[in-house]
Structure 1
Amino acid sequence: MKHYLIISLASLLFFISCNNSNTKKSKENFKWAVTVTAPFNYPIEIHKGYLGNDKKMIAAFMNTGLTEDGWNYDGDVLSGGKEMPTFLSLTWISYAEKKFWKIETAIDEATQNKIQKLFNEGYINKSRNREPSHITYKKITVGVAPGGTVIVWLTGQNKRTEIANFQAMESFVSVNEFYRNPDEDTQQEFYDYFYNAYISKETQEYIKKNGVPVNLWKEFRTKYNYRFNIHFYKADKESFERESEYVNGEKEIIRIEDLNNYQNKALPSYCRFWFCQYNAEAEFDDEEVLNAFKKISKNHPDKNIEIEAKVAFMYKTTTFTVKCEGDEIPLEKTVVRMWKN
């Protein structure tokens, strides 16, 4: 009986030791930096904010100046932490809209569990001509867009995954509180001056004609069942995984065995293809591809959709067309670059 007790106690101590080791490993892996990003042509600037929990502020959102590189870019690293954030607070100015937005929201338990699971599991990263490696996410990226759209992603090398979306509320911050205001501008003079300074003439013309597209980034989150169907002018094939970025801000490397499968995903914003003889890059016009899919899916509800890619003679270019049951819409604004391996 005494021997049995000793063995049981030893087993219990071993279990506790292993459990503590796993917990420690989990905490070590859960280390993150925080960044903020905004759509290209619709610049923002942070006023203040933080990620925190019910006990303290974990990571502050610092004003590093203009943010406008696009949702597919992470933005500057502002700060970071090692604990699970349970609360998001952020106030920023949207220069195209001439207004401030504010989000103050709890990060619910389901989202916390998703964050922890994704950080713990990580993912396989495989760069061309390199052995695949198992890595994990490094950043919590907050994307803000006109209309008060707020998206939160986990970001790592060649990978970004949406974990939550929120709706901010319109807010007000006095120009004198936001910056030193050396010229003693009124609130409207402040808005007008930086609108003209930061918003491109092309975007100003677009806004004058169509207004700020406040619902666009919500629509970008819609997912469709589609695949690329690549046609070569002579025998060839994709020789490596495809690098893909999406209009909803996500990105990934698609495994070669999945390239020809229909998948339920957000629409493509950028793709890099590796063929046997050439490489190709395609930058899609986000609104063009969205409008094409909206029209096709309305005419052919619940049907799989293809993006046909035709590689031209001697690999001079590649053209892209959205197709479904004989209905075709060319993506004429796609920017294509090709070069020999």
Structure 2
Amino acid sequence: MKTKENFSWGVAIIAPRMYPIEIHKGYLGNDKKMIAPFINTGLMQQGWAYYGDVFSGGNEMPTELSATWISYAEKKFWKIETEIDKKTQDKIRQLFIEGYENKALSGTWSHITYKKITIGLAPGGIVILWASGLNKKTEIAHYQAKETFVSVNEFCRNPDEYTQQEFYDDRFEDYVPKETQEYIKKNGVPLTLYEEYRTKYNYRFDLQFHKTDKESNDRESEYVNGEKEIVKIEDLNSYQTKALPSYCRFWFSQYNAEAEFDGGEILNAFKKISKNHPDKNIDIEAKVAFMYKTVDFIVKCEGEEIPLQNVVVRMWKN
């Protein structure tokens, strides 16, 4: 890979959880040649942290991205036709060549590389590309699609002879989760949320224990922008500029904990506190309760505190 332009990759497509989409057609290509078509992808809403199932792949550098899809929550089609520019190609090449360090279940570290180019399609026509591999997902590029029109008869069989609006309404009712339907009725579709999730902040976790303890292992982390990694133990206490966490797995001396963050809640807390304290380091204080019953999280900076009340925490004894 270090000496050849060709390298092997699979392509996968994902969508945010609760916001289902379905591909009409698309491909990754090179010089007007289709390399990896998107065919029969079916309904997708696995979540932003998902790696995606491989539909096809190639062994050449893709230079063009084309995709047309329906967003059932928005009742509309989107289309992206874009060149993958040289800067992005260089980033893809560098990521696949350099690879990364991965920690196996046995606890040993080894050097591996990425296996997929994952394409994320979010409300508002937001398109994200990641390099994906075992325990690792890194953003490559982002694009903005344009609203388009595809007739129901072109998109699928229409035995009930639905009009376009009847088709949209029927699929919205059948495919969009009730929770999402209720949210949209109150707040509308979150058109900018997944773009805001790409914002990075300089922060760290500050763990506080009832008795003397510390993290005893590397931390598994997922982020609201779809990235994920295993953070090495020597880096746990340092401030780093990253997207906000969506999930973390912590290991202590006798217990371990999982924390699932509410993306909207933590984003609003960081937006507020960074506005009040521009360019300052931010702590997410994690207070481990007596007898390790739970963990409470507070966003803190220069004396200002914002509790995170919607974090789902699970604790286990090692």
TM-score scaled by length of structure 1: 0.91
Q: Map Cα deviations across residues 270-313 of structure 1 (whole Å, 9 max, x no partner).
A: 00011111111000000000001001111111111100001011
1:196 paired to 2:173:
yes
Contact 2:21 / 2:71 at 8 angstroms: preserved in 1? yes
Q: Distance in 1 between matches of 2:52 and 2:156?
A: 21
Stretch moving more, 147-156 or 196-205 = 196-205
Q: Give the match's secondary structure for 1:124.
A: strand
Aligned to 1:7: none
Please report how far the alpha carbon of residue 267 of structure 1 lies from its aligned counterpart in structure 2 after TM superposition. 0.2
Match of 1:299 among 268, 276, 280: 276
Bigger Cα Rg:
1
Secondary structure of the 1:23 match is: coil
| More strand, by proportion | 2
How is 1:101-112 mapped onto 2 (pairs within 5 angstroms)? 101-112=78-89
Percent identity at matched positions? 73
Q: Secondary structure at the match of 2:28?
A: strand
Task: Spell out, residue by residue over 1:82-124, the C-alpha distance to the aligned partner (whole angstroms, 9 max, x if none).
Answer: 1000000000000000000000000000110111111011111
Name the structure 2 match of 1:23: 3
Structure 2 partner of 1:17: none
Inter-partner Cα distance in structure 2 for 1:263 and 1:131? 24
1:141 aligns with 2:121: no
Q: Which amino acid aligns with 1:23?
A: T
Give me the whole-angstrom Cα distance separating, in 2, the residues matched to 1:136 and 1:226: 27
Q: Does 1:116 align with 2:93?
A: yes
Post-superposition CA distance 1:25-82 (Å, at most 9, x none): x63xx21110000001111000000000105110001222110011101232110111
SS at match of 2:189: coil
> Given residue 163 of structure 1, which amino acid in structure 2 is its aligned partner?
I
Match among 159, 163, 169 for residue 146 of structure 2? 169
Tell me which of 214, 229, 244 is aligned to 2:206: 229
Say yes or no: does 1:325 pair with 2:305.
no
2:267 paired residue number: 290
1:43 is aligned to 2:43: no
Matches within 5 A, 1:199-218: 199-218=176-195
Residue identity opposite 1:279 in structure 2: N
Matched residues in 1 for 2:128 and 2:160: separation? 35
Letter in 2 for 1:98: K
Which residue in the other structure is 1:11 paired with?
A: none
Partner residue of 1:91?
68
Distance between the aligned counterparts of 2:226 and 2:145, measured in 1?
A: 18
Residues 1:54 and 2:31 aligned together: yes
Contact kept, 8 Å, 2:2 with 2:97, in 1: the verdict is no
Shift of 1:22: 5.4
Aligned AA for 2:3?
T
- Letter of the aligned partner of 1:300 in structure 2? H
SS of corresponding position for 1:196:
helix
Q: Normalized per residue, which structure has more helix? A: 1
Query: Shift of residue 128 of structure 1?
Result: 4.7
| DSSP 3-state at the match of 2:265 | helix
Pairwise CA RMSD: 1.2
2:243 — aligned with what? 266
Q: Is the counterpart of residue 179 in structure 1 residue 128 in structure 2? A: no
- Answer yes or no: is 1:248 the counterpart of 2:228: no
Q: TM-score if structure 2 supplies the norm length?
A: 0.98
Q: Where do 5+ consecutive residues of structure 1 fail to align?
A: 1-20
Q: Give, in whole Å, the separation in 1 of the partners of 2:29 and 2:251.
A: 42
1:131 maps to what in 2?
A: 108
Q: SS of the counterpart of 1:276?
A: coil
In the alignment, which residue of structure 1 is the partner of 2:58?
81
- State the AA in 1 paired with 2:300: K
For 2:289, the equivalent position in structure 1 comes to 312
Partner of 1:13: none
The ranges of structure 1 where at least 4 consecutive aligned residues each deviate by more than 6 angstroms after the TM superposition are none
Distance (whole Å) between structure 2 residues aligned to residue 239 and residue 202 of structure 1: 38
Structure 1 contact 67–75 (Cα < 8 Å) conserved: no
Matched pairs, number: 318
1:209-253 deviation line (CA, Å, top 9, x unaligned):
111010000100000000000011111111111110000000111
